[in-house]
């Protein structure tokens, strides 16, 4: 390459993996397989641990700063010092010269009441700057692209859609230990939900459905502070609801293989990784009837009104869906990484031509 492209490696300081971080890790993993030796760098904080042994990506550890100070001061300073262009795959980018930025959704812009005020202010600030100054904006679905065009005065050609995928889940082994801790979770006798306290995840729907269906258990996993969850919803938690807290990928896969269905009543999504992971593990999937879910999953999942609670789950599950391969064959981490690499090389040529 004629210019130096440097990936923001703050992700390697994270203990837990969210959907946004999964995208970053898998794209980097596949990039490493298709680029030339040292064609692209990853700059990581000195505190970063568990960095994979990449064969082609060049790893540079830089600065003892952490988190926001590293991302907003140390990382852009390193990029500028090396006359590089930053690649930021996890929503957040440096205010100075944001480079190429992946914004996974604009939920906090569309629905600010669902988030902490300081988070909304921070993302408004960074997103507005990225839309104006970034070389390219990446997002994960056509729905997200339309949302960005509606929220910001930006040329649609500046936004490129690069999808999530699911193949990482095929590498994960099953850990059945969760069932020895909860022997009441029999095969196809419980529903599973995974999410956080944020309102758009709509776990309130799960509690209300659980109350109407006492013959089933309803299992909730994720970063859920149980008492805070109950207090915020002001709802009594039915006795057939079990909170598992954070689970490993191996435990989640074990649950997907035994659950009656994954319940994913989220009111706003940019893509939806849990449903596609669940499909890849052979689970039935129930999602909210929202625009993004139709784009990504078409007729391979079951749809519910996320504001309706008198749903006959048995009748719903008897409805036919298309085989999951219809969707699984549509997405690929390798194809997504190749699309990003094509974008990088195109921008590399444009910058070179503009400077000569």
Span 123-167, pLDDT tens digits? 999 999 999 999 999 999 999 999 999 999 999 999 999 999 999
What's residue 114's pLDDT?
Answer: 86
> pLDDT higher for 351 or 341?
341
Span 192-228, pLDDT tens digits? 999 876 788 898 899 999 999 999 999 999 865 656 6
Domain boundaries, the chain: 4-165+332-354, 167-328
Domain 167-328, second-level architecture: 3-Layer(aba) Sandwich (3.40)
What's residue 171's pLDDT?
Answer: 96
What's residue 36's pLDDT?
Answer: 93
**Is domain 4-165+332-354 annotated with CATH 3.40.50.11900?**
no
Span 74-111, pLDDT tens digits? 999 999 999 999 999 999 999 999 999 999 999 999 99
What's residue 227's pLDDT?
Answer: 60
**Pairing mode of beta strands 136-139, 100-102:** parallel
Q: Is the pLDDT of residue 257 over 90?
A: yes
Chain Cα centroid distance, residue 192: 18
Q: Is the pLDDT of residue 234 over 90?
A: no
Radius of gyration of the chain measured on its C-alpha atoms = 21
Q: 230 pLDDT band (50/70/90 cuts)? A: low
Query: Partners of 262 in the beta sheet?
Result: 192, 285
pTM of the entire predicted model: 0.93
Cα distances (Å, whole numbers) of residue 106 to 96, 110, 124, 147: 21, 6, 9, 7
What's residue 232's pLDDT?
Answer: 62
The interaxial angle of helices 273-280 and 249-258, nearest 10 deg, is: 60
Q: What is the mean pLDDT of residues 235-243?
A: 85
């Amino acid at each position: 390459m004629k210019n130096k492209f440097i990936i923001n490696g703050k992700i390697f300081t994270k203990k837990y993996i969210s959907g946004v971080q999964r995208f970053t890790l898998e794209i980097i993993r596949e990039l490493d397989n298709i680029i030339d030796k040292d064609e692209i760098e990853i700059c990581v904080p000195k505190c970063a641990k568990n960095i994979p042994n990449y064969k082609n990506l060049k790893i540079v550890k830089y600065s003892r700063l952490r988190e926001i100070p590293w991302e907003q001061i140390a990382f852009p300073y390193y990029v500028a010092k090396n006359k590089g262009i930053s690649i930021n795959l996890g929503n957040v980018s440096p205010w100075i010269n944001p480079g190429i930025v992946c914004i996974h959704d604009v939920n906090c812009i569309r629905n600010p009441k669902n988030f902490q005020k300081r988070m909304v202010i921070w993302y408004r600030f960074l997103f507005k700057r990225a839309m104006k100054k970034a070389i390219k904006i990446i997002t994960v679905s056509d729905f997200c692209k339309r949302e960005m065009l509606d929220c910001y005065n930006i040329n649609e050609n500046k936004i490129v859609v690069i999808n999530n995928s699911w193949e990482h889940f095929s590498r994960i082994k099953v850990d059945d230990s969760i069932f020895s801790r909860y022997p009441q979770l029999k095969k196809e006798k419980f529903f599973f939900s995974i999410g956080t306290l944020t309102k758009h995840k709509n776990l309130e729907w799960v509690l209300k459905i659980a109350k109407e269906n006492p013959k089933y258990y309803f299992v909730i996993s994720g970063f859920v502070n149980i008492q805070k969850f109950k207090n915020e919803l002001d709802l009594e938690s039915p006795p057939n609801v079990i909170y598992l807290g954070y689970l490993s990928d191996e435990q989640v896969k074990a649950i997907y293989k035994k659950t009656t269905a994954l319940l994913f009543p989220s009111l706003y999504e940019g893509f939806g990784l849990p449903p596609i992971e669940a499909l890849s593990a052979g689970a039935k999937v129930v999602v909210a009837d929202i625009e993004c879910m139709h784009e990504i999953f078409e007729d391979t999942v079951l749809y519910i009104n996320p504001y309706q609670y008198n749903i006959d789950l048995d009748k719903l599950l008897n409805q036919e869906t298309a085989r999951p391969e219809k969707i699984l064959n549509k997405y690929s981490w390798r194809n997504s990484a190749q699309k990003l690499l094509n974008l990088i090389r195109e921008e590399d040529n444009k910058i070179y031509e503009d400077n000569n």
